[in-house]
Structure 1
Amino acid sequence: MIPYSTQDINEADIKAVGRALRSGWLTQGPAIGRFEKALAKKVGARFAVAFNSGTAALHAAYFAAGVRKGDEVIVPSLTFAATANAALYLGAKPVFADSDMQTGNINIADARKKITKKTKAIVPVDYGGRPADLREFRALAKKHKLVFIEDAAQALGATYRGKPVGTHADMTMFSFHPVKSITTGEGGVIVTNNKKFDTALRLFRSHGISKDTNTFARKGHGAWYQEMQELGFNYRMPEMSAALGESQLKRLGFFITKRRVAAKRYRRLLAKVPNLILPPAERAHEKSAWHLYPVRLAPQVAHKRDEVFATMRKAGIGVQVHYVPVHLHLFYEKLGYKKGLCPNTEAFVASEISIPLFPNITQKQQKFIADTLKRILAQI
């Protein structure tokens, strides 16, 4: 089976993890700081705070943004559930905005309509690695005094208006799951230029407990004393993961270049195929990280999507669908969210298939995938 995506681990990565294991530090050691510093430098941010998952990182970002019970957070429905779940963790309400039918990114006009007096933060997602309309979202957040959090789980290595993704929002989250731009096994990070956010993120990821005497409300204790100031979590990244991430980060440019080459090859192989809609070409001001290559069936054959999906899987091609619209998950239906809330998202997902894309995919594999897809479409 050709996977829809997979990690690329080399001997340098293995040696880096081995060094961490032999260092005497398994957690809360120097590898975390090195990885955070390297990542912040790579994306041009002042601070980077690593977590043991992208979900944990989002939870921490919403906390740092001041999201609390009764607040609202605007998120796209076309995303992994964690983008919305993190609001629920804090007692807030996810408010779903619809998607752009071409890119899959959040529709800013619909997001604008969803802003109320209760809105605390707005969280666009870079679907498939393609940056959302970040300049417009920044202006919208500033106008309404919202915290702008970018869910760039899939977009490490992407650029927007000449700058790396990670420099445009108040806080930006990257994921290090094995299928992402780089991996730490499991992991995530928040990058920010705001010292207040940085402090809150670090406190939250370690039980809400501070060991910094400068922050203590209770003075005069010995060196043993630590102060729990918030209700936090144990969201710390282990040293081995950080060591792997630092090693992987050195090859980020290589990974993204390979993904871009593969995406361009698909565009040539699948050009002008009847009843198939390809992802739009990049605009002049953006460069995607090409985490996904999401193709869609034309409206007249979209009802055949599951048949095409199953036939591709049967042929040994690990296609996927991204995603179940969050508002249509069973859990969210039980909360009262209804079908029809985000019609573009629902139509997009009903016709979408993600075909395999990863740095080491071969030309032979891509040709097989393209030929198989063309053959199936010709028969429906």
Structure 2
Amino acid sequence: MSTAPVPPTIPVMLPWLGEEEAQAAAEAVRSGWVAQGPRVAEFERAFAEHLGAPHAVAVSSCTTALHLALIGAGVGPGDEVVVPSLSFIATANAVTYLGAVPVFADVDAETGNLTAGTVEPLLTARTRAVIAVDQGGVPVDLDGIGELVEPRGITVVEDAACGAGSVYRGRPVGADAAIAAYSFHPRKLLTTGEGGMVTCQDGELAARLRRLREHGMSVSAADRHTAGGASLPETYDEIGFNYRMTDIQAAIGLVQLRRLPEMVARRRELAGRYRELLAGTGTGARLVADPAHGTTNYQSCWLLPADGAPERTELLARLAAAGVSARRGIMAAHLEAPYKGTARVPLPATELLTRRSLILPLFHALTEQQQDRVVEALRTALG
């Protein structure tokens, strides 16, 4: 007995990269300056201008951006930092790097984000910061959390890893945050392969973060090169790190930044079409949507099946058999070995979303025909 061949698998994500990015990277290579240099500085200026934020500091990843952001917030050994468990484990790890304690809060089941209500029960005299994540690109209600914690001297660090291109109260996500961290991993809309950015309001803090990303040097390698034969001896006033972005990455990032509005518009168009198609299936599955306070870039197009749907592992297997590459929803850090058993309160919304949600294919080049295949495969998988 023969069966019809399965069409090529539809990936869950593909970065939108083209000849312009290739040419920009090649020009950086041909320039002879491939480490952190003038293109990194240009990317920082362009990114800050795009957001409307005063300062931007390019780094090697969002994890290193979070690490530096927490140092900037004054987090140290023995401090507590409230974080969502529903986030990539790097959010909690960055706290642990500093000898501080990640305290896991639950999230809103509609947005997947922290709220003032989920944070407040976990605040103690040891709380130094809160990391508020724009999960999957859905903007977190930063004002509500800030109004709760800032009068207590607690800093809000915005983990905007997924947030580039999302909007919060009419402004780009992270624009008004005291400190925010971004990711340029290939799963994000704007990618440099690897890489990250810290934005902040304070010029002295930005200068300090620039030193810290380069081993704490008082004079950067780029400044020494620009000085030519002049002597610019450096000092090292605190322990720093090697968290630099390269000029090759920044060259790609500059092209990607120009593409960002088109990327967001396309993803929102595709997500809207998913919503229409899914409504016609009668499955009752709920697609992530814009919150009242902003718009999402749909970095992750996650879906929560209705009660009574098959178990998620079975759903993913059925989709894979139909040539559709979906993924499990956002992980819950408190269920992983390094943090297992550390949650201080029940996290019902977190555990529901991490157990049952899944991420659908969504990328710039996704066609209507591919979308139709995804929805039909999902309808069949859900029964």
TM-score, with structure 2 as normaliser: 0.92
> 1:50-91 CA deviation, whole Å, 9 max, x = no partner?
111111111111111111001111110110001110000010
Distance 1:21 1:176 in 2: 20
Gaps of 5+ in 1: 213-221
- 1:328/1:339 contact within 8 Å kept: no
Aligned positions, number:
366
Aligned to 1:187: 195
Q: Does residue 357 of structure 1 match 2:365?
A: no
Q: 1:109-188, aligned counterparts within 5 Å?
A: 109-188=117-196
> 1:133-176 CA deviation, whole Å, 9 max, x = no partner?
12112212322211111111111011111111122311111110
Aligned to 1:307: 314
Distance 2:305 2:293 in 1: 27
Q: 1:1-380, aligned counterparts within 5 Å?
A: 1-211=9-219, 223-271=231-279, 273-301=281-309, 304-333=311-340, 336-337=341-342, 341-378=346-383
Secondary structure of 1:348's counterpart equals helix
| Residue 281 of structure 1, CA deviation | 3.6
State the AA in 2 paired with 1:330: A
- 2:115/2:144 contact within 8 Å kept: no
- 1:327/1:339 contact within 8 Å kept: no
- 1:276/1:295 contact within 8 Å kept: no
| Residue 282 of structure 1, CA deviation | 2.0
- 1:71/1:93 contact within 8 Å kept: yes
Distance 1:119 1:239 in 2: 38
State the AA in 2 paired with 1:162: G
Percentage of pairs with the same residue: 39
Gaps of 5+ in 2: 1-8, 221-229
| Residue 285 of structure 1, CA deviation | 3.4
| Residue 119 of structure 1, CA deviation | 0.8
Runs of 4+ aligned residues of structure 1 deviating over 6 Å after TM superposition are: none
- 1:31/1:243 contact within 8 Å kept: yes
- 2:195/2:245 contact within 8 Å kept: yes
Aligned to 2:6: none
State the AA in 2 paired with 1:31: R
Distance 1:277 1:208 in 2: 50
> 1:225-255 CA deviation, whole Å, 9 max, x = no partner?
2211222110000110000001111110000
State the AA in 2 paired with 1:107: T
| Residue 102 of structure 1, CA deviation | 1.3
RMSD: 1.7
State the AA in 2 paired with 1:184: T
Secondary structure of 1:237's counterpart equals coil
Distance 1:185 1:340 in 2: 37
| Residue 28 of structure 1, CA deviation | 2.4
